[in-house]
Amino acid sequence: MASPKSKVDLYAALRRDARSGMSYRALMREQGVGLRTVKAALESVWPEPWKKPRPRGTRLDAYKPLIDAMLRADLDALRKQRHTVKRIFDRLLDEHAAEAVTYPMVRAYVAGRLPQIAVEAGRGVVHTFIPQSHRPGGGLGGMFMPLKLYN
């Protein structure tokens, strides 16, 4: 028998074969699945939804509060006195012995976190959408005058 295309089809095939009197072991062998899958198919019509995995920790996690503090302090600094990503990376290496942290890790974190910190402080641009409605045939609201031709 050809294997089902989706998990829903697999569950339907397992239930159909179980109604015909096949044992759990025969169902497992026929469909090439384990006992848990057979039991789950017979208990529920729909398969369990996929669980989103927890995000893995990174080597940068221990230093994120330090980077955030540097970026928050830069909000009040003059433009030329703010931390660059290179400067933040160098400070992590020099002051905190963050040997496991790489420059691309710091760069990616700062690129994503800097706009968030600015918004949290009330200084960033909050992206919004303002729906506009225009009446049919309304044009641009009278901004342009019709061209008059003189003979």
Task: Compute the radius of gyration of the chain from its Cα atoms.
Answer: 31
24 vs 28: CA distance, rounded Å: 6
129 vs 57: CA distance, rounded Å: 34
What contacts 30, CB < 8 A, 6 or more positions away? 1, 17, 22
Contact 92, 98 (CB under 8 A): yes
Domain residues of the chain, as ranges?
7-43, 61-120
Please tell me whether the overall predicted TM-score, pTM, comes out greater than 0.85 for this model. Answer: no
48 vs 51: CA distance, rounded Å: 8
User: pLDDT value at position 134?
Assistant: 73
Residues of the chain with pLDDT under 50: none
